[in-house]
Amino acid sequence: MVKRVQPHRLVFAFFLAITLSSWARCETPPAPKLSAEETRQAFLKIIDRPHVDLAPKVEEQAADSDVLHFHFSFASEAGQRVPGILLIKKELMNDGVRHPAVVVLHGTGGKKEKELNILKKLASQGFVAVAIDGRFHGERGTYADYNAAIAKAFVDGNSHPLYYDTVWDILRLIDYLQSRPDVDGKRIGLIGFSKGGIETYLAAAVDPRIAVAVPCIALQSFRWGMENDGWHARIGTVRKGFDAAAKSAGVEMPGAEFVRVFYDHLLPGIYDPFDGPAMVRLIAPRPLLGISGDRDPNNPLPGIRLCEQSAKAAYEKAGAPEKFELLLQQDTGHSVKPEAEAVAIKWFNRWLGNESRSGRQ
């Protein structure tokens, strides 16, 4: 007697096969086409622009009981001043000692002031805590300006408002922090959320002055997303700019193929030499903590795993496996839970703070 298979079981088996097939295609990260140094130089060449004097301006603001607040700005390029806020304990301000600093980067639609909660926590533990506005955010524009700049850049190719231009600002921010007498230029860390998390691992990959990196809800493979229909949520963060770009190209129903064209214009190399798995390996052996959600639509889990595998291999090769960790938040979408934030602050204390100075692990 032949046992009949129920139709719903056939359907399940079909989708299981597709799922396993897609996982098989991303089982291991692709071998890099460029060396680590070639990758760094290629990325820096894309974002490079004429250097200008920083011309920093600093103004003290209202303080908490024991933490001083400052508003500052500096020139990152001609016509661009980057505004920021800096918090430091009063007792550390003029003690003649250089202290570790942590830079906090906001996500799409955010601004530096929205990061005050974590800035205060960092400052209370002895860090110089810093946040800046990304391009077309906070003091530098609106969400509408951001999308308009993306649409314009798609047409004229004169800028990279999506991630890359802010990475340049971050590198110039490191220049500024290293010029301050209260900052230890060898102990500067970076934590970013979503858009800011992508900017975190891109900047850390190409600038060894970033001693510790914590990209949050950002690790991903742009290539995997394009090849497995996992690009929609990420593109959704700049949907108006994307749609305007498609319209300018005469594309009525943009799909994965236009996503590729969009990335080529706005983020050249982002799905190949500068994809997440390719860039995170360049951070080794400096401490790297990734914080992700296992149900994050912006950063599908298979792409996160590709980054994890790539980083693990790089840190093991560098003889520093303990300096890489991935905190995968369970049953979590595109968000960072308070307990995960606490792990991030502990990570900075371990590798930048008093623990690292005293040798305690």
DSSP 230-287: --HHHHHTTHHHHHHHHHHTT-SS--HHHHHHHHHHHSTTTTTTTSHHHHHGGGTTS-
Share of the chain above pLDDT 70, in %: 90
- Identify whether 282 is part of a domain: yes
> For the whole model, what pTM was predicted?
0.90
Instruction: Give the residue from 44, 38, 36 showing the smallest Cα distance to 268.
Output: 44
| pLDDT tens-digit readout, 43-91 | 999 999 999 999 999 999 877 789 999 999 999 999 999 999 999 999 9
- Domain count within the chain: 1
- Identify whether 15 is part of a domain: no
- Identify whether 354 is part of a domain: yes
Beta bridge pairs of residue 169: none
Rounded mean pLDDT, 304-331 = 98
pLDDT at 321: 98
What is the band of 356 on the pLDDT scale with cuts at 50, 70, 90?
very low
Count of helix runs (H) and strand runs (E) in the chain: 15, 9
- Identify whether 88 is part of a domain: yes
Share of the chain above pLDDT 90, in %: 86
- Identify whether 23 is part of a domain: no
Rounded mean pLDDT, 116-121 = 97
Distance CA 143, CA 139 (A): 11
Asked if residue 4 has pLDDT above 50, the reply is: no
Helix (H) / strand (E) element for 178: namely helix 164-179
Residue 68 CA from chain centroid, whole number: 27
Asked if residue 13 has pLDDT above 60, the reply is: no
pLDDT at 15: 32
pLDDT at 355: 52
- Identify whether 46 is part of a domain: yes
**93, 182 in Cβ contact below 8 A?**
yes
| pLDDT tens-digit readout, 229-251 | 999 999 999 999 999 999 999 99
Rounded mean pLDDT, 247-270 = 97
- Identify whether 26 is part of a domain: no
Q: Which residue has better confidence, 127 or 27?
A: 127
- Identify whether 312 is part of a domain: yes
Q: What is the CATH number of the domain that holds 195?
A: 3.40.50.1820
Segments forming the whole domain that contains residue 45? 36-358
Distance CA 334, CA 221 (A): 16
